[in-house]
């Protein structure tokens, strides 16, 4: 017989939260990766080349750069939303 979630001991509750966090993190990491791959393809095509012309490690580096850009964009948007929600002005 299992106890309701609000009656779990702290260690079990921590494990439930950790598993939930990891599921959400993996889901969003996958979405960010897909978006980064699309941006990397566009970037390569804009340079007049095809992805097949690059070595796998170079492609991985390009995708990683795009992932970093996406994450940075999300972080900056999050901060702007937080500031807006708090009613603070960025430009006095």
Q: Which pLDDT value is given to residue 41?
A: 96
Q: Would you say residue 44 lies in a domain? A: yes
**In the predicted structure, residue 50 carries a pLDDT above the cut 90:** yes
Which of 34, 35, 33, 15 minimizes the C-alpha distance to 23?
15
Mean of all residue pLDDT scores within the chain = 86
Q: What average pLDDT does the segment 1-11 reach? A: 60
Please return the burial class of 57, using the count of CB atoms within 10 Å of its CB with bins 0-12, 13-18 and 19+.
exposed
At 2, is the pLDDT very low, low, confident or very high (cuts 50, 70, 90)? Answer: low
Our count of domains for the chain comes to: 1
Q: Provide the domain limits for residue 38.
A: 11-86
pLDDT in tens, 26-45: 999 999 999 999 999 999 99
Q: What average pLDDT does the segment 47-53 reach? A: 94
pTM assigned to the model: 0.70
Q: What average pLDDT does the segment 57-78 reach? A: 94
Q: Would you say residue 25 lies in a domain? A: yes
Q: Would you say residue 92 lies in a domain? A: no
């Amino acid at each position: 017989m299992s106890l309701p979630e609000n009656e779990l001991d702290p260690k079990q509750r921590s494990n439930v939260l950790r598993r939930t966090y990891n599921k959400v993190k993996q889901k969003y990491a996958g979405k960010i990766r897909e978006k980064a791959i699309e941006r990397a393809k566009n970037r390569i095509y804009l340079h007049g080349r095809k992805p097949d012309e690059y070595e796998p490690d170079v492609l991985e580096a390009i995708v990683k750069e795009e992932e970093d850009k996406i994450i940075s964009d999300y972080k900056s948007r999050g901060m702007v939303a937080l500031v807006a929600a708090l009613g603070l002005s960025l430009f006095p």
